[in-house]
Structure 1
Amino acid sequence: MTATLTVVGLGSGNPDRLTLGIVKRLQSASAVYVRTADHPAMSALQELGIASQSFDKLYESLSSFPEVYEAITERLLEATRTASEGTEIVYAVPGHPMVAESAVSKLRERCPEAGIALTILGGESFLDEAFVRLGFDPIEGFQLLDASGIRSHQLQPELHTLIGQVYDGFTASETKLCLMEMYPPEYEVVVGHALGVEGEERILRVPLYELDRLDGYGNLSLVYIPASREEASRRRTFARLHEIVGILRSPEGCPWDREQTHESLRKNLIEETYEVLETIDEDDPDHMREELGDLLLQIMLHAQMEEELGTFNVYDVIEGLNDKLIFRHPHVFGDMSAGNAKEALQNWEGMKAEEKRRKGLQPEAESALSGVPRDLPALMKAYKLQKKASKVGFDWDNAVDVLAKIREEADELQEAIESGAPADEQALELGDLLFAAANLSRFIGADPEEALTRTNRKFVSRFHYIEERLRSRGSRPENSSLEEMELLWQEAKAQERGE
């Protein structure tokens, strides 16, 4: 029979709150270890003559909290393994052993593997004091977060939120920055130091932006963010967006939104996509933010329609996307590697094919051209079709050969026009010429859609120059000769070149 290991809680800080059972366990132990000697309850242990060893030096010698907790776990396991049979090792921690004690969680996992009997005796948690001293009922909705690992996506303004382990000013600053992603700078928060400890307790109410300007942060400090049911606090949450879209589509919502179908909103989805692209071209972040919201609304509406039918909801969409991103990035979330973008793309394509196999499909039996959306803009679709064909060797050898093909197609178009061929035949020849031009783009490393967009933009800029110059002369394009406009066109080109 080996020694046993018992973990006890020293309570929130008031020595008078130590339970009689825990005191007896400490007095009878063959060895007592404490996570830190910097705790108010340690004075009671000293008065009772209970000797202990702290792990404070580990915090000084190791560079991160995970390393500290791993070291504490190893030392306690070793101490228990080497102790005399039938004796008891006690490990005392601040507060309750099961609240914000990583080493205790590790012991619960590893003691059974090591054949060590582990007992955990609860003490008063800092939560008990927080509920009383800060005056809120957790049944209204409550979450407890760790300042060292807090993330903005965890925040839920409609819940009472306690953030523990705010050890110092730096941690308070990091906490503030995270909170300000969800709450306004003026939102009132509460800082509590040594709650329930006579002579040491301090409770301060400050606007959020002042959180890291306070002194006195330490082992017994926490931050409390009161729950808010106000609309302003929920505006930045995805859950609120989902709720609003559901209301708009409800019988009590907007008549126009209720009438929409996938088909009626199809054109809106396309238009909003192109409006986002326009903001990218304009390099206008403020406008982009607005247009991305409009595009997101279209996605939310389509997902809401399916939610009403019971097929799926937007959270199913998010889950599917998360799964896909993780699966197709084995070089990030798995054991594969990718040293550059080309290797990463190869991994993506490989995992994409594996997804199809898992669905019972045979990617090897599919056409090399499969996967190109039917309704893509024609120029973009031509580019993607040619790119897929090139992967299986159906391609020109070089750009010179493609240029020769473009000249050939131009000659055929000219012949069709000069011979008076039917309009449909001329259109087909024009399509061949455009298709060949799109093919050339791959050989010179240009996207044909982007190249034509730049040319369109250039044309608009130059034509606006012509209109402005003519307007300054009291004229308009329709009242001017082609020669006059051509001269202004050349002026615009010269200005672009800085001449």
Structure 2
Amino acid sequence: MGKLTIVGLGPGEFEHMTIETIEKMKNADKLYLRTEKHPVVKYLKDMGLSFETFDKIYEMGSTFEEVYDNITREIIEIAEKCDNVVYAVPGNPLVAEKTVEYLLKFLNDSDDIKVEVVPAMSFVDVVVNELKIDPIYGLKIIDGLSLDSIKPDKRCNNLVTQVYNKRVASEVKLKLMDIYGDEFLVTVVKSAGVKGEQRIETMPLYEIDMIDWIDYLTSIFIPPAKGTFKSRYDIDDLLDIMAKLRGENGCPWDKEQDHSTLKKYLIEECYEVIDAIENNSDESLLEELGDVLLQVVFHSQIADERKAFDFHDVCDAECKKMIYRHPHVFGVEEIATSADVLKRWDEIKKDEKGFKSHTNELKSVPRSMPALIRGYKVQEKAAKVGFDWDNVDDAMAKVYEELNEFKEVYKGEDENDKIEELGDLIFAVVNVARFLKIDPEIAVHKTIEKFIQRFNYIEDAAEKSGHKLEDMTLSEMDSLWNEAKMNKFNKKAQK
């Protein structure tokens, strides 16, 4: 059986290497260094140690992943042929060392090669010492090349490694500025603990790619973002702000609210989002989405105070729902079209809710929805089981039928009859809209806007002719109304 011993060369100074590491290297049949680019290598040469490196592989690989994979495979091949191979890497073998990660993964179940990892001092130990920080209060270590998937934690210390050139520093800067803001102070650390080479400077985040002394031993230290006023905020900040508003010394109005009193604000904010979308205003959309998010946080805070659930429970439940309802993305099912996706979604939802009948599904459409939207959704669900007209002409015929029934009662004295027949007429119109794939809510909103514009034309025209609307007859106003319609027609014709 071959044996592979993995040792660490420490952060840079020869004194930081352990006696055990030195002894392992002295007694190796074969000694390999991942790279010769390390300050202690000159001491190894002075000791008369014979070794080989994998620097040549760096020149052949197009990506670091390819380089690390090739080094890993070569080490395994060597270890299979030799009894006592020592592989030395910078720092601690188990801290920010991809080749060791790959080796342990590949050799985990191997019966042919015995693996030993010797502890060593890492660059993190030296950085902590030089910056005088205690990691017990939180220290998150992140590979600078992994910032897309691993985000810094603004509430603790962060150390971003692998910032080995200005290009990487620029990419890291842009990602961090989205989290901390341009002016946030960070500390750039180069060659930590190496006498004569160490360099530590604190600077605004936007400057880190402007310095000319970045190299392969460079990291960026980011302290916690403290205080109420920050350049950039995140969801945790919003949760903290809401907790403070509801707290003992918070805002009297916020403290008085409950789920019921907030209902109207949630509805209003949702409509303002729709308005921002219809106006094609990204600025307004950003603001209004924030207001909707605030309502979610507000309700979650109130629920948390009741010991019912909190915001994190809301996120957890929604993530689980999305994963469960997308088996074609997160599971093994194959669904090709959007129509099939919606069908499967309904099946999963019905199973989740435990609906025992189709009527249960109709009843599940919230009564608090705007009536036109609720009617549309109820009709959609009924249509899925075949309770529907064959075509839009049949739906139109139903509109005329309901109109005639309304004509029979609208002058009568029975208010219930009027309400019922008018509701039937509107419901029939919604059905026509559904056949034509027209959102009735949007259609009515467009008509309202059109009405306001034409009314504005009437008022402006009356004012120009020296009249007030209150003094005009309906016939006179109707004439101006027709002018407004014609003006709109003429503009369309010109286009």
For the pair 1:164 / 2:161, whether they are aligned, the reply is yes
For the pair 1:178 / 2:175, whether they are aligned, the reply is yes
Q: Which moved more, 1:132-141 or 1:109-118?
A: 132-141
Secondary structure of the residue aligned to 1:212 is coil
CA distance in 1, matches of 2:332, 2:57: 33
- Judged with a 3 Å threshold, the aligned counterparts in structure 2 of structure 1 residues 60 and 468 are, in CA distance, closer, same or farther, namely farther
For the pair 1:376 / 2:369, whether they are aligned, the reply is yes
- Judged with a 3 Å threshold, the aligned counterparts in structure 2 of structure 1 residues 395 and 56 are, in CA distance, closer, same or farther, namely farther
Counting aligned pairs with the same residue, the percent is 39
CA distance in 2, matches of 1:52, 1:496: 86
Match of 1:417 among 389, 410, 413: 410
Q: Is the 8 A contact 2:162 2:219 kept in 1?
A: yes
1:5-58 residue CA offsets vs partner (Å, 9 max, x unmatched): 111111112234322321221121122222222222222223333333333344
Match of 1:93 among 64, 70, 89: 89
Partner of 1:75: 74
Secondary structure of the residue aligned to 2:158 is strand
Partner of 1:112: 108
Secondary structure of the residue aligned to 1:229 is coil
Give the RMSD, CA atoms, in angstroms. Answer: 2.5
- Judged with a 3 Å threshold, the aligned counterparts in structure 2 of structure 1 residues 337 and 212 are, in CA distance, closer, same or farther, namely farther
Q: Where do 5+ consecutive residues of structure 1 fail to align?
A: none
Partner of 2:12: 13
Q: Is the 8 A contact 2:355 2:361 kept in 1?
A: no
Q: Where do 5+ consecutive residues of structure 2 fail to align?
A: none
- Judged with a 3 Å threshold, the aligned counterparts in structure 2 of structure 1 residues 45 and 338 are, in CA distance, closer, same or farther, namely farther
Partner of 2:122: 125
Q: CA deviation at 1:153?
A: 7.5
For the pair 1:438 / 2:430, whether they are aligned, the reply is yes
For the pair 1:388 / 2:381, whether they are aligned, the reply is yes
1:332-358 residue CA offsets vs partner (Å, 9 max, x unmatched): 2222334332233234334334434xx
Task: Trace 1:218-237 onto structure 2 (pairs within 5 A).
Answer: 218-233=215-230, 236-237=233-234
For the pair 1:486 / 2:485, whether they are aligned, the reply is no
Secondary structure of the residue aligned to 1:190 is strand
CA distance in 2, matches of 1:366, 1:122: 66
Q: CA deviation at 1:390?
A: 0.7
Q: Is the 8 A contact 2:350 2:361 kept in 1?
A: no
Partner of 1:334: 331
CA distance in 2, matches of 1:251, 1:199: 54
- Judged with a 3 Å threshold, the aligned counterparts in structure 2 of structure 1 residues 432 and 165 are, in CA distance, closer, same or farther, namely same
Partner of 1:469: 461
- Judged with a 3 Å threshold, the aligned counterparts in structure 2 of structure 1 residues 143 and 203 are, in CA distance, closer, same or farther, namely same
Q: CA deviation at 1:163?
A: 0.5
Q: CA deviation at 1:460?
A: 1.9
Q: Which moved more, 1:104-113 or 1:325-334?
A: 104-113
CA distance in 2, matches of 1:213, 1:378: 59
- Judged with a 3 Å threshold, the aligned counterparts in structure 2 of structure 1 residues 51 and 462 are, in CA distance, closer, same or farther, namely farther
CA distance in 2, matches of 1:394, 1:268: 37
Q: Is the 8 A contact 1:152 1:182 kept in 2?
A: no
Q: CA deviation at 1:371?
A: 2.7
Q: Is the 8 A contact 1:163 1:222 kept in 2?
A: yes
1:93-131 residue CA offsets vs partner (Å, 9 max, x unmatched): 111111111332333344330023221112221112212
CA distance in 1, matches of 2:274, 2:450: 17
Q: CA deviation at 1:310?
A: 1.5
Secondary structure of the residue aligned to 2:219 is strand
For the pair 1:48 / 2:47, whether they are aligned, the reply is yes
Q: Is the 8 A contact 2:142 2:150 kept in 1?
A: no
Secondary structure of the residue aligned to 1:209 is helix
Letter in 2 for 1:456: I
For the pair 1:31 / 2:24, whether they are aligned, the reply is no
Q: Which moved more, 1:149-158 or 1:441-450?
A: 149-158
Match of 2:131 among 123, 126, 134: 134
Letter in 1 for 2:7: V
Q: Which runs of 4+ in 1 moved over 4 A?
A: 362-366
1:442-484 residue CA offsets vs partner (Å, 9 max, x unmatched): 2212111122122222222222232233334443332333333
For the pair 1:194 / 2:186, whether they are aligned, the reply is no
Q: CA deviation at 1:166?
A: 1.0
CA distance in 2, matches of 1:179, 1:114: 41
TM-score normalised by length of structure 2: 0.91
Q: Is the 8 A contact 1:383 1:438 kept in 2?
A: yes
Q: Is the 8 A contact 2:181 2:231 kept in 1?
A: no
- Judged with a 3 Å threshold, the aligned counterparts in structure 2 of structure 1 residues 471 and 197 are, in CA distance, closer, same or farther, namely farther
Letter in 2 for 1:19: T
Q: CA deviation at 1:4?
A: 1.3
- Judged with a 3 Å threshold, the aligned counterparts in structure 2 of structure 1 residues 22 and 454 are, in CA distance, closer, same or farther, namely same
Q: Is the 8 A contact 2:178 2:232 kept in 1?
A: no
Partner of 2:391: 398
Q: CA deviation at 1:434?
A: 0.9
- Judged with a 3 Å threshold, the aligned counterparts in structure 2 of structure 1 residues 36 and 467 are, in CA distance, closer, same or farther, namely farther
TM-score normalised by length of structure 1: 0.90
Partner of 1:265: 262
Letter in 1 for 2:297: M
Task: Trace 1:286-301 onto structure 2 (pairs within 5 A).
Answer: 286-301=283-298
- Judged with a 3 Å threshold, the aligned counterparts in structure 2 of structure 1 residues 364 and 274 are, in CA distance, closer, same or farther, namely same
Q: Is the 8 A contact 1:152 1:179 kept in 2?
A: no
Q: CA deviation at 1:219?
A: 1.8
Task: Trace 1:234-383 onto structure 2 (pairs within 5 A).
Answer: 236-356=233-353, 361=354, 367-383=360-376
Secondary structure of the residue aligned to 1:180 is helix
